[in-house]
Amino acid sequence: AQSVTQPDIHITVSEGASLELRCNYSYGATPYLFWYVQSPGQGLQLLLKYFSGDTLVQGIKGFEAEFKRSQSSFNLRKPSVHWSDAAEYFCAVRGGGADGLTFGKGTHLIIQP
Amino acid sequence: DAGITQSPRHKVTETGTPVTLRCHQTENHRYMYWYRQDPGHGLRLIHYSYGVKDTDKGEVSDGYSVSRSKTEDFLLTLESATSSQTSVYFCAISEYNRQGRGEQYFGPGTRLTVT
């Protein structure tokens, strides 16, 4: 069975500083990987996705993520965070079929002024 | 934004009563999903549909049933609600290409409280 681990429940970053959110997955073959963001009281918005090819993928809002097969990781990065980036971030994995996504438990990002 | 609506957006109900949540899409996507979100658990798959009248169970399907009689609507029913089903419920839709690539888009959610 596939699984996703987000080791950090909470992360606090100063505005303007760089950000890295960690995600580790467990899946037997090449996975499809996703990062979603959820603002308070809102639904989930897709930030970026990885299917194959270039292991560094660009997403919306200035986010990027790097797929590292050897480490089973798909970490999310942003060079300079803004106060509006404060939200809950979820990493998710899916196999090649039409099954649903398996989500990590999320990382709550707090931005300090 | 993907054309996904959920109704109701908020509901309070009593233990033992039946509850039906509706997900409606205007994208004509084949695949639809129901998830629940609980603190400390992220989102977990309840049921999904891969076409009209075609559904399958997810990770946490006990106590839930689904139906899909039209492409655009996917209903989630709690036959007899329990307090453990207090949660936020999200619907998602997707299409996939021949390689199985595709992303899921989520609705705004329904907050259900069972007292």
Residue B97 is predicted with a pLDDT of 81
Secondary structure class of B76 (helix, strand, coil): strand
- List the 66-105 stretch of B: residues with Cβ below 8 A of A: 90, 92, 94, 96, 99-101, 103-105
Please give the structure tokens belonging to residue A113: 């002024």
**Touching check for B42 and chain A: CB below 8 Å?**
yes
**φ, ψ (nearest 5 deg) of residue A15:** -60, 135
Residue B1 is predicted with a pLDDT of 57
In chain B, residues with a C-beta closer than 8 Å to the C-beta of A98 are: 31, 48, 50, 94, 96, 100
In chain A, residues with a C-beta closer than 8 Å to the C-beta of B103 are: 34, 46, 49
**φ, ψ (nearest 5 deg) of residue B85:** -95, 5
How far is CA B34 from each of CA A11, B66, B75, rounded to the nearest angstrom? 29, 9, 9
Which among A9, A99, A108 is the top mutation candidate for probing chain B, defined by the most B β-carbons within 10 Å of its own β-carbon? Answer: A99
All residue ranges of chain B with pLDDT < 50 are none
Rounded to whole angstroms, the Cα distance separating B103 from A107 reads 21
Residue B2 is predicted with a pLDDT of 66
In chain B, residues with a C-beta closer than 8 Å to the C-beta of A31 are: none
Rounded to whole angstroms, the Cα distance separating A22 from A8 reads 7
Rounded to whole angstroms, the Cα distance separating B62 from A87 reads 31
Residue A80 is predicted with a pLDDT of 97
Give the residue carrying structure tokens 């002024």.
A113
Give the residue carrying structure tokens 């009563």.
B17
Residue B22 is predicted with a pLDDT of 98
Cβ pair A63, A71 in contact under 8 A:
no
Residue B33 has its nearest CB partner, among A4, A100, A105, at A100
Those residues with Cβ within 8 angstroms of residue B113's Cβ, 6 or more apart along the chain or in another chain: B11, B12, B13, B86
Nearest CA in chain B to A105: B42
All residue ranges of chain A with pLDDT < 50 are none
Cβ pair B50, A98 in contact under 8 A:
yes
Rounded to whole angstroms, the Cα distance separating A101 from A91 reads 10
Residue A99 is predicted with a pLDDT of 80
**Touching check for A53 and chain B: CB below 8 Å?**
no
DSSP string, A37-50: EE-TT--EEEEEEE
